[in-house]
């Protein structure tokens, strides 16, 4: 992996209107992600910058240095309705550089000052640093911290998500958030066909996150957009070559079949029922092959 380079940028607005996703507004302090998850759908967004979705996505990180000021302007507009804003929809808002730049924390302070709800999706234990703010924001309907836990298998974690905290660490983060009164949920996403999508694997994660205090649980199958597909297939050929033929047949498009989605949805419903995770994730929405989000709006 190349040495990580950080680029300071600015933005005119902080909040982006999202179409075709289970939330209406997004905010991303960073572009690119040092977590380097090989399945990450956001890899494709680096091509908008003339960079590649491989090493460049992992090593060329862009930080929006004025995002808190831009957010304050956005929330101060008379036209703003006070809806919840989803943070980290493109890349992790708590990736390592956040410990120094504190852009995400600054945005949370703005949300709290405006009494505006927000959510975040993260794999990072750095979210623990901001428990003081999240515990206050959790009083606002529409606020929640979503921890992404894709597997409990540490061997799979090491090769699929090389820059992230371990599953054990993420469960501990979930416990600490729950004990502090922060509303929490878990996204087991994406599910990797033939690797992490068995009924046993889904039920194991659901049981563990319920014990750690999660209120919601949602799953989402792997989607492979152009650029991401090539990167993921290279990784798959290295670690799971026996699955290559299955993937080549299954991923004629970016989505798997509706039958596959229905099977995963049925298992997920069983997991919610069995472990008391009755609330659904982002307002109950499931990603299906019929949902075709306008990614550029959601991810920039």
pLDDT along the chain (300 residues), means of 10: 88 93 93 97 91 94 98 97 95 97 98 98 98 98 97 98 98 98 97 98 98 97 96 98 98 96 98 86 35 36
Q: What is the pLDDT of residue 3?
A: 86
Q: What is the pLDDT of residue 278?
A: 76
Q: What is the pLDDT of residue 2?
A: 66
Spatial distance between the Cα atoms of 46 and 122, rounded to a whole number of angstroms? 19
Write the CA distances from 292 to 55, 165, 208, 277, 295, integer angstroms: 27, 30, 31, 27, 8
Residue 150 in 3-state DSSP?
A: coil
Spatial distance between the Cα atoms of 33 and 120, rounded to a whole number of angstroms? 15
Spatial distance between the Cα atoms of 94 and 273, rounded to a whole number of angstroms? 31
Spatial distance between the Cα atoms of 127 and 286, rounded to a whole number of angstroms? 25
Q: Which helix (H) or strand (E) holds 5?
A: strand 5-9
Work out the number of other CB atoms within 10 angstroms of the CB of residue 103. Answer: 21
Spatial distance between the Cα atoms of 297 and 233, rounded to a whole number of angstroms? 26
Residue 63 in contact with residue 30, Cβ under 8 Å? yes
Domain extent listing, the chain: 5-285
Residue 23 in contact with residue 14, Cβ under 8 Å? no
Nearest in space to 43 (alpha carbons), one of 207, 208, 231, 210 = 231
Spatial distance between the Cα atoms of 174 and 152, rounded to a whole number of angstroms? 14
Q: What is the pLDDT of residue 287?
A: 35
Q: What is the pLDDT of residue 1?
A: 52
Residue 104 in 3-state DSSP?
A: helix
All residues at 6 or more sequence positions from 22 whose CB lies less than 8 Å from its CB, including other chains: 281, 282, 283, 284, 285, 287
Residue 204 in contact with residue 152, Cβ under 8 Å? yes
- The dihedrals phi and psi of 92, each to the nearest 5 degrees, come to -65, 125
CATH architecture of 5-285: Alpha-Beta Barrel (3.20)
* β-pair partners for 144: 119
């Amino acid at each position: 992996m190349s040495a990580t380079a950080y680029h300071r940028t600015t933005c005119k607005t902080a909040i982006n209107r999202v179409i075709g996703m289970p939330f209406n507004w997004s905010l991303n302090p960073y572009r690119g992600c040092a977590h380097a998850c090989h399945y990450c759908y956001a890899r494709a967004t680096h091509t908008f910058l003339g960079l590649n979705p491989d090493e460049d996505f992992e090593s060329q990180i862009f930080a929006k240095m004025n995002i808190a000021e831009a957010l304050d302007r956005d929330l101060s507009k008379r036209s703003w309705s006070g809806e919840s804003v989803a943070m980290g929809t493109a890349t992790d808002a708590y990736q390592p550089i956040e410990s120094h730049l504190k852009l995400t924390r600054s945005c949370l302070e703005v949300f709290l000052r405006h009494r505006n709800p927000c959510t975040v999706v993260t794999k990072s234990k750095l979210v623990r640093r901001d428990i003081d703010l999240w515990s206050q924001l959790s009083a606002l309907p529409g606020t929640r911290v979503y921890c992404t836990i894709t597997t409990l298998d540490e061997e799979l974690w090491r090769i699929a998500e090389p820059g992230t905290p371990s599953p054990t660490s993420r469960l501990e983060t979930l416990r600490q958030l729950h004990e502090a009164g922060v509303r929490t949920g878990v996204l087991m996403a994406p599910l990797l066909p033939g690797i992490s999508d068995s009924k046993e694997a889904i039920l194991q994660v659901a049981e563990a996150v319920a014990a750690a205090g999660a209120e919601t649980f949602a799953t989402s199958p792997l989607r492979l957009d152009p650029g991401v597909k090539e990167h993921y297939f290279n990784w798959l050929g290295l670690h799971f070559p026996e699955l290559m033929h299955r993937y080549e047949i299954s991923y004629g498009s970016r989505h798997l079949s509706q039958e596959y989605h229905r099977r995963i949805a049925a298992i997920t419903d069983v997991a919610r029922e069995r472990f008391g995770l009755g609330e659904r994730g982002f307002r109950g929405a499931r990603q299906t092959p019929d949902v075709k989000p306008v990614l550029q709006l959601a991810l920039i």
